Chains A and B, each alone.
Chain A
Amino acid sequence: MREPTYLILTALAPGPRYGYAIIQDVAELSQGSTSLLPGTLYTALDRLAAEGLVELDREERVEGRLRRYYRLTPDGVTALETETARMRRLTTAAEARLRTLRPHTA
């Protein structure tokens, strides 16, 4: 799973989000290192929907602008959990090796 996809799924984990809120969440989660553009976001949402990982939650109109909220499907939650576990294993392994390398700082 590529990092932007992981970040989008993570942004949707607490509950349904609309387009701009997802972009903001992704920027915050990545501490500014990933800045999604709307074209990229909607292409990713199409792909994730085709894979059955996200789905439309509801629509609303705010100040005349259309907002569509998206949520994780059960498969999306599973995919995020699996990827998070895989990354945690990698992180744990990396930390262990770094401790061996620099026991006084790690």
Chain B
Amino acid sequence: MPVTSDPLARRYRRLLVCYPRAYRRERGEELVATLLEAAPPTRVRPTARETTNLIGHGLRARLGRPTSRTVVVWAALAAVVCGLFTASLATRLAWETSRPMPDRAEAAAILADVLPGHEVDGIYVPSGLFEMYGEPLSLNHVDLLMFGEGNEYALSATTASRNGPPPVPVEQAAAVAQQRLRDGGWTVYPVTHNDMYSCAGPPCDPTAIPRDTQLFAKRGDTVLEVNLYPQQYADSTYLAVSLSRATPAAVAPAAIAAGLFGAVAGWLLFGWASRRTQAPHPARRAVNVLFGVTMVLWWSPIAFTAPFAVPHHLDAPHPLPHPLWEWLGQPIFSLFLFTGCATALLGLSLAALPSRKAQPRRVAAA
């Protein structure tokens, strides 16, 4: 393609990057010439319609399915979901760069500093960063993970609590804790209050439900959560504290890099399978069905979970955002994920079956 100083031609040519290099070499100059002839003299940049059209057809050509009207949408669905899952996996791996959860000494020092006069009944230090029912994840948990209890797999925390009557009113304890946290260099998040239980109508009066006091603070890689409860019984818990680690700095770059890698891999794999299974491939219909099933299995947990996760994050302070996989409905819907992996692998295996398809030719090469 000859170089031109015409800015519109330059912009059109830039859009042609969406097409494969061989296609550009063969058709680029002709395509730009037609675009320039069709453009009114006053046009200085491609219209949105032209841009969308060139990107769509270019990506179709890159996928090797220039005549398919929907292939780009399917490829994008596959690429995005693969990118999200690989980003989630990288997020989990990058969490291993975190320091262990605060030990007893660190937790006791923080509690003595922030909540003076509140003797806790004990400090529990978890054995791992993420736990399921208080234990590091193991093969014993596979059935729980797969069949509906995956939400129990969560970030652990060093916890402490105190039963009995509070030494000072909980409002006063919260105010003192906030002040001491600020003095200690913690970032203190707005206090929130939540009903301790719910009920609907008489004899329960919803306006009389006791409310707890929840306080979050963060300093360095440590996140503190303090819950203060109005006393209901003589030995009920009035104070619960948890200390955990903030999201490590390595998580974001690892997730982005892995997400891009996964998206590209998903795109290329989809393109490969799509090209291989054009008619008259013997397993064409089966591969199409398996692809559809895979997309439903992978996307439905996301479609179900993400709409709840967004308002949940917006409604309450989150010094420690939920890890990416939880936004994708994992591992609570891990059965969907693994079944989708099985259907995807089966589809790819069928796509690898030999085909007697003739290679399409382009008119300019005719």
Contact = CB atoms under 8 A, between A and B. Distances in A.
B33 A39 contact: no
Contact of B37 (A20, A48, A54): A20
Interface residues of A, number: 26
B284 interface: no
B54 interface: yes
A48 B363 contact: yes
A64 B53 CA distance: 25
Contact of A23 (B34, B58, B60, B363): B34
A71 B56 CA distance: 26
Contacts of A46: 66-67, 360, 362-363
B366 A55 contact: yes
B27 interface: yes
Interface centre among B2, B57, B66 (most CB of A within 10 A): B57
Interface centre among A38, A40, A65 (most CB of B within 10 A): A38
A1 interface: no
A47 B30 CA distance: 17
Interface in A48-67: 48-50, 54-56, 64-67
A80 interface: no
A61 B36 CA distance: 14
Contacts of A19: 30-31, 33-34, 37
B43 interface: no
Interface residues of B, number: 28
A39 B60 CA distance: 11
Nearest to A44: B67
Nearest to B360: A50
B10 to A, nearest CB: 15
Interface in A1-48: 18-20, 23, 37-43, 45-48
A56 B30 CA distance: 13
Contacts of A43: 57, 60-61, 66-67
A16 to B, nearest CB: 12
A56 B27 CA distance: 13
A53 B29 CA distance: 23
Given A46-B363, A49-B363, A37 B50 contact: yes
Interface in A79-95: none
Contact of B53 (A39, A49, A67): A39
A55 B363 CA distance: 6
Given A19-B33, A55-B366, A42 B27 contact: yes
Contacts of B67: 43, 46-47, 50
B38 interface: yes
A37 B55 CA distance: 12
B35 A38 contact: yes
B57 A39 contact: yes
Contacts of A54: 363
A100 B56 CA distance: 46
Interface string B44-70: 000001100110111011000011000
A68 B38 contact: no
B33 A42 contact: no
Interface string B9-48: 0000000000000000001011101111110000000000
Interface centre among B27, B29, B33, B36 (most CB of A within 10 A): B33
B361 interface: yes
B363 A40 contact: no
Nearest to B359: A50
Nearest to A68: B30
Interface of A: 18-20, 23, 37-43, 45-50, 54-56, 64-68, 70
> Would you list the 3 A-B pairs with minimal beta carbon distance, nearest first?
A49-B363, A19-B34, A39-B57
10 contacts: A19-B31, A37-B53, A38-B31, A38-B54, A39-B31, A39-B57, A45-B363, A47-B67, A49-B362, A50-B361
Given A42-B30, A46-B362, 19 more contacts: A19-B33, A19-B34, A20-B33, A20-B34, A20-B37, A20-B38, A37-B53, A38-B31, A39-B31, A39-B56, A42-B34, A42-B57, A43-B60, A46-B66, A46-B360, A49-B361, A49-B363, A65-B33, A67-B33
